[in-house]
Amino acid sequence: MSSAVRPAPQQDVRRHRQPPGQAAGDQHDGVKHAVVGLRNPIAPPVEIRHDIAGKSVCDFHLGAAYEGPPGHVHGGVAALVLDHLLGEAASDGINPRLTGTISFRYVRATRLGRLHAEAAITHTEGVKTYAIGHLADDEGITVEAEGVFIQPRWARDGSE
């Protein structure tokens, strides 16, 4: 696991095409985002990196604010992080892909503390992109995820 852990939420550097009718000043900038938004005081402190192979990766720390079972991450928080990460992997940086379906396999409880998550595309069929990923602590993988992400109609070749 990387030792580069961010203590606070960071703005997502990708810029996505916006739905019709959304003002230019309202462009997605990560500030209002539920998972990585700077305006959300309880947003998990994740900063996603994209490697040259197309994988999305993040190393972060979750403390007591994200606790479910004593000493462990709430399963909903794990799902939130993985849903966002898989969506980032499925998106191309310009045109977003939104969650169509997603499933999680909780391998074991995820301890609070330093965590690592990664996701990658397995394949694409038309407007559907399939992605897989996982969340891990220092002892290994704790949650596995797979999902189908769909490019919304408003983001397809400028059509609305």
Q: Which residues pair with 121 in a beta bridge?
A: 131
For 8-42, b/e burial (b = at least 16 CB within 10 A) is ebbebebebbeeeeeeeeeebbbeebebbbeeeee
Name the nearest CA neighbour of 114 among 64, 77, 75, 59. Answer: 59
Q: What digits encode the pLDDT tens for the residues 17-51?
A: 444 444 444 445 556 677 777 778 888 888 899 88
Domain borders along the chain are 24-155
Looking at every residue in the chain, the average pLDDT score rounds to: 82
Q: What digits encode the pLDDT tens for the residues 50-103?
A: 888 889 999 999 999 999 999 999 999 999 999 999 999 999 878 889 999 999
Architecture of domain 24-155: Roll (3.10)
pLDDT at res. 59: 96
**CB of 98 closer than 8 Å to CB of 87:** yes
